[in-house]
Amino acid sequence: MPPPLRRLLLLRPPAAAALAADAATLRRPYLRLIALSSTLRHLDQILAVSLASGHYPLDPAPATSLLLRYASLRAPADHLLRLFRSFPCPDRFLRNALLRSLPSLRPRLLFPCPDSFSFAFAATSLTGSCSRECGAASYSEARALHALSVAAGYAADTFVASALAKLYFVLSRVDHARKVFDMVPSPDTVLWNTLLAGLSGADAVESFVRMVSEGSVRPDATTLASVLPAAAEVADVTMGRSVHAFAEKRGLAEHEHVLTGLISLYAKCGDVELARRLFDMMEKPDLVAYNALISGYSVNGIVGSSVDLFTELMALGLKPHSSTLVALIPVYSPFGHDLLAQCLHGFVLKSGFTANSPVSTAITTLYCRLNDMESARKAFDAMPDKTMESWNAMISGYAQNGLTDMAVALFEQMLKLNVRPNPITISSTLSACAQLGALSLGKWLHRIIAEEDLEPNVYVMTALIDMYAKCGSISEARSIFNSMDNKNVVSWNAVIAGYGLHGQGAEALKLYKDMLDAHLLPTSATFLSVLYACSHGGLVDEGRKVFRSMTDDYAIMPGIEHCTCMVDLLGRAGQLKEAFELISEFPKNAVGPGVWGALLGACMVHKDSDLAKLASQKLFELDPENSGYYVLLSNLHTSKKQYSEAAVVRQEAKSRKLVKTPGYTLIEIGEKSHVFMAGDRAHPQSEAIYSYLEKLTAKMIEAGYRPETEAAFYDVEEEEKEHMVKVHSEKLAIAFGLLSTEPGTEIRIIKNLRVCLDCHNATKFISKVTQRLIVVRDASRFHHFRDGVCSCGDYW
């Protein structure tokens, strides 16, 4: 026990009249003792003495100091509250000290007589609690606190505004944070820094330019350290250089945080050499500087250099932090680094970083990008505390690897654990629904978006547009697009691509023109969407113009996808010679299997076996393990009754042990999915389905239907060929849909491969004899069948 405390214990409690006089005299000893205390036991002893002597209720200064010291030594919140309540007349200093110290907000503690510190500390307290668990309740509390501060006249106070803005940023309510900022007529440097730290990318850069232009405050090192990562995020190296020059002019360029920010900026913008020079200029680079350069090497795919720098760091005796490992893990260039991934995972396990969520999330992401979903799931399941980022990594990993069912199942598991989704979670799960074609799941997600108030988020709404378009509801996709206040180029691309997918090329071109009229610059993805729409709409002249405009007007070099679309566009229109000649004009790096595959597909449609042989030879060289090309060439020979050539192609595929991708068709009835294979009898209602299909086929034949058996095996009887095409998965799914729904109900099915000629023809007749709208999504587009006519105009 400290000697001054022993002396206090020896004092007899003074008379009541003397207490007030003694309080001022003893204030300094109490404050000194509190400052010297290093354990909760010491503080308990001081509190006991002050209570026994009767001094505690008289002087708020030692009580405030005592409460703050208890908080700094991590005393429980209940203990702090009891300490506060035992003081009969707490002043605003004691009240503010409690607000500052509690792990979560108690709104009633604001009153009576709150000041700017009261609101700022309350906002900070709420920020701490919602950092741990964000939700609708935290947002409501933030709004209530904000309203109270405005009512009390503190809306223009920079101290309060800074705390409120930070709170809204933590809650991902950027629009509200901006409103808080805009209510302050003369923001100071701290408030500007809060805004810049909360914004990202172009928004932060734009705000920094505004801050400098207004000239009312002087940017400091913190300002520059906030804007440099934002410039790096949008790869704006010109802005980065401007900030660098500004830092040199203001004498801030050698500040540790600024220099580290510059290293990170230049490295992420591809100038790794300059980043290294800046790093070498540092007399003694710290761990953060090492992390910045390691990350820069990783982002640019220079994995060997990032590993070497990590080895150097270890040799210097610097202990790697979690951010070091996150920077080192090659999530940006994972391919070819399977062994490194395993070594890094082993290091993480041995170093005890498995409990660190960012590190485990990076490992999970790495395995997902290496298509090792089993290892990714093990790393995810091993996390003791799963963050929102870890859930997002695993869900998006499943979606990107085509494991859409598992992505949706994991999302549902997340909701059951009361983990609220954020925009990234919703976007990834919507992507999975789009791949599945699961409209009912997509509508369920749409309801969640409304419940979570995520509709203002442009990325969520763009993902929603994409989902509705790919699930067959282009009208709903357009309705959402029209309702958006803030559309970006990705939103325009999504709806243009949707029209292309549904064969509405003219509407896609009209929307493209509207986009240009809105002064939005088209991207590479925009041109791909427009060319795709032209290809599936037979708009040859328009497609040629768009393709030329891409390079002539916007200096965008065509990639593999653009070249594939052009060959497909010309090939579908029968311009095979022009398509073949165009391939020779493409850059070499833009000619891949997709280009030759598009030409081979066009040869199949227009029965050009000579050009098909040339295209297939190229394909067998570029992609020898793809069975689809062998099937196309074999079917072409069969359709021209070149049976010996077809047999040679089939034998070649057989000798390579290539297996044709099995076709299947999915249909949703209610909220349940049903999957059919060709000749499938596994469905519980298969007997009723086959019986109904027999009756339906008879009606179709009466209406003029004749089976298309060209692509069926040539060495079977014609009657057997007819039976083979009759039980294709599309027909089984449609028959089940007709049996399971009310007359007039729309039927929607999804085929994993391109719909065959016979199924396409048969579906036209089914739509006619049943008077139903039938929507079919195959591997390349949507077909809308109504009254015996398909929306594609038999052009697919």
Q: What is the pLDDT of residues 409-418, one digit of tens each?
A: 999 999 999 8
Q: Look at residue 373 in the predicted model and tell me its pLDDT.
A: 93
Alpha carbon distance, N-terminus to C-terminus of the chain = 89
Task: Judge contact between 397 and 373, C-beta under 8 A.
Answer: yes
Longest dimension (CA), the chain: 119
Q: Look up tokens 């668990």; give the residue.
A: 133
- Predicted model pTM: 0.66
Sheet architecture: strand order including 782-786: 672-677, 664-669, 747-751, 774-777, 782-786, 789-790
- Cα 796 to chain center, whole Å? 32
90, 80 in Cβ contact below 8 A? no
The pairing of beta strand 747-751 with beta strand 664-669: antiparallel
Tell me the CA distances in angstroms from 108 to 61, 112, 189, 675, one per residue in order. Answer: 22, 9, 31, 58
Element (H, E) at 282: none
Contacts 24+ apart (CB under 8 A), 692-700: 692/735, 692/738, 692/739, 693/726, 693/727, 693/731, 693/732, 693/735, 696/735, 696/738, 696/766, 696/769, 696/770, 697/726, 699/769, 700/762, 700/765, 700/766, 700/769
pLDDT at 718: 39
Beta bridge partners of 725: none
pLDDT per residue as tens digits for the range 136-158: 557 777 888 888 888 888 888 99
Strand pairing category for 672-677 and 664-669: antiparallel
| pLDDT for res 467 | 94
Q: Dump pLDDT digits (tens) for 97-134.
A: 767 776 565 555 555 667 777 777 778 777 776 655 55
H/E element holding 674? strand 672-677
| Distance from C-alpha of 404 to C-alpha of 730, rounded to nearest angstrom | 21
Tell me how far apart the alpha carbons of residues 509 and 544 are, in angstroms, rounded to a whole number. 13
- Give the rounded distance of the alpha carbon of 538 from its chain centre: 34
* Secondary structure string (H, E, C) spanning 323-336: HHHHHHCCCCCCCC
Render the burial of 230-244: b for 16+ CB within 10 Å, e for the rest: bbbebebbebbbbbb
Sequence-separated (6 or more) residues with CB below 8 Å from residue 23: 55, 58, 59
The pLDDT tens digits for 15-54 are: 444 544 555 566 777 778 788 888 888 888 887 877 777 7
Give domain limits for the chain. 404-656, 665-790
Q: How far apart are CA 238 and CA 623, in angstroms?
A: 41
Q: pLDDT tier at 752 (50, 70, 90 boundaries)? A: confident
- Alpha-carbon distances, residue 610 vs 175, 181, 636 (angstroms): 62, 69, 11
pLDDT-based confidence at residue 439 (cuts at 50, 70, 90): confident
Residues 6+ apart with CB under 8 A from 706: none
471 and 437 Cβ atoms separated by less than 8 Å = yes
Q: Are 180 and 146 in contact (CB under 8 A)?
A: yes
Condensed to tens digits (0 to 9), the pLDDT of residues 475-497 reads 999 999 999 988 899 999 999 99
Q: How confident is the model at residue 12 (pLDDT cuts 50, 70, 90)?
A: very low
Give the residue-averaged pLDDT of 754-759: 85
Residue 8 has pLDDT above 50, yes or no: no
Among left, alpha and beta (phi > 0; psi -120 to 50; other), residue 552 is alpha
The per-residue pLDDT for 716 is 36
Residue 315 Cα to chain centre, angstroms: 37
The length of the chain in residues reads: 796
Q: What average pLDDT does range 335-347 have in this prediction?
A: 86
**404-656, superfamily in CATH?**
Tetratricopeptide repeat domain (1.25.40.10)
Express each pLDDT in 650-686 by its tens digit.
787 777 776 777 888 999 898 788 999 988 889 999 9
Sorted by sequence, the CB contacts under 8 Å of residue 551 that are 6+ apart come out as: 557, 558
Q: What whole-number distance in Å separates Cα of residue 155 and Cα of residue 617? A: 73
Q: Is 661 left (phi over 0), alpha (psi -120 to 50) or beta?
A: beta
| DSSP-assigned states of every residue in 301-319 | T-HHHHHHHHHHHHHTTPP
CB 665 within 8 A of CB 732: yes
Q: Which of 21-25, 399-403, 577-581 has the lowest mean pLDDT?
A: 21-25
Q: Read off the pLDDT band of 523 (50, 70, 90).
A: very high
Calculate the alpha carbon distances from 392 to 146, 234, 406, 409 in Å: 31, 22, 13, 13
The 10s digit of each residue's pLDDT in 71-82 is 778 888 777 777
Q: Tell me, what's the pLDDT at 657?
A: 73
